[in-house]
Amino acid sequence: MRYETVGAAGPRVSALILGCGNFGGIGSPAQFRGKGDNRDTAFEVMDAARESGVCMFDTANAYAGGTSEQWIGEWLASRQAYDDIAVTTKVGGPTDAGSGLSREHIRGQIDASLSRLGVERVALYLAHGPDDTVPIEETIGTFDELVQEGKIGAYGVSNVTAEQLSAATAAGRPVNVQNGYNLFDRLGQADLWPVCAAAGVGFTAYSPLAGGLLTGKHRAGQPFAAESRMALRPPELTDLSLDRALGALPRLIEIADGYGVPLTTLALAWVLTDPGVTAAVVGPRSAEHLKPMVAAVDLALTTEQRAELIVGTHSISNG
């Protein structure tokens, strides 16, 4: 496993961060609670991640109505893994107690998150998305208070544009931006890289496999497996439509076969070898699914090889 510091002053993270958005649900929407991984599977995945050298778990107060945080907390306690695993969680998404990034909501939610996780401090706290009803100075100021109080180690933002990230860096010192980034969703980040570099902000990529689409197990014209993430909640692609992304898969699988690796490994290596990316957030649905993801950390792609994969999407891409 490879390790880096997030931004200029963030926590140390592994190249792969375990995304826990499937624990007990599929992300934040209430209608998907109970549709994700069960507790036993979640524990198996966390065990496998720890054994592979993953040192950060990513969750949110809104995931499965707090169940994701709760199960991470129970796992940390049962494994006595507090010194091995850092946690990043998020605030702002829809919860039973409301949503948003006001000072009052953030302060109430950090205490709820810490209680579910069973910890006194999280390494990294993220605004889950922009809140246009609250001045960014109020949000960032509250995060600064939480750093001073020792409840969070550092903070950042997620799902933001370059303009929104610039506003956050003008108001304080976020160390991380977490946005979607993969072979099918790459053009929207181009404006972010200069802002990140200028402000010392690390970039962590969520959905590096396009919600499972880049595992290569799905085919155009065929139904998605029942209860799979693709069946329940297909990814929202930005560079391509879902149909066009499915159309690109045969060529990408052919390229991966030429490397002698699964498409999962090659597509994830494409993300990890981007110089603008600090780490990738992965959400394996089993311990077995984690193995080709871990293999991507050691697959070094040159600039030319990365370009070959982009060319593999040119016939159906805008890029």
Q: Is 63 a catalytic residue?
A: yes
pLDDT in tens, 148-207: 999 999 999 999 999 999 999 999 999 999 999 999 998 878 899 999 999 999 999 999
CA 228 to chain centre: 18
Pairing label, strands 3-5, 56-58: unpaired
- Give domain status of residue 318, yes or no: no
Q: Say if residue 146's pLDDT is above 50.
A: yes
- Give domain status of residue 316, yes or no: no
Domain carrying residue 91: 3-311
Closest Cα to residue 119, out of 90, 154, 145, 81? Answer: 81
Please state the pTM of the whole predicted model.
0.95
62: domain CATH number?
3.20.20.100
Closest Cα to residue 289, out of 224, 216, 226? Answer: 216
Task: Kindly name the residue from 63, 155, 181, 206 that is annotated as catalytic.
Answer: 63
- The pLDDT confidence band at residue 231, using thresholds 50, 70 and 90, is confident
- Give domain status of residue 93, yes or no: yes
Q: How many domains does the chain have?
A: 1
Which residues have CB under 8 Å from 270's CB, separation 6+?
183, 301, 306, 309
- The pLDDT confidence band at residue 314, using thresholds 50, 70 and 90, is low
- What does residue 44 show for φ and ψ, rounded to 5 degrees? -65, -40
What token pair was written down for 308?
């070959």
- Give domain status of residue 196, yes or no: yes
Q: Say if residue 319's pLDDT is above 80.
A: no
Q: Is residue 289 a contact partner of residue 214, using CB atoms and an 8 Å limit? A: no
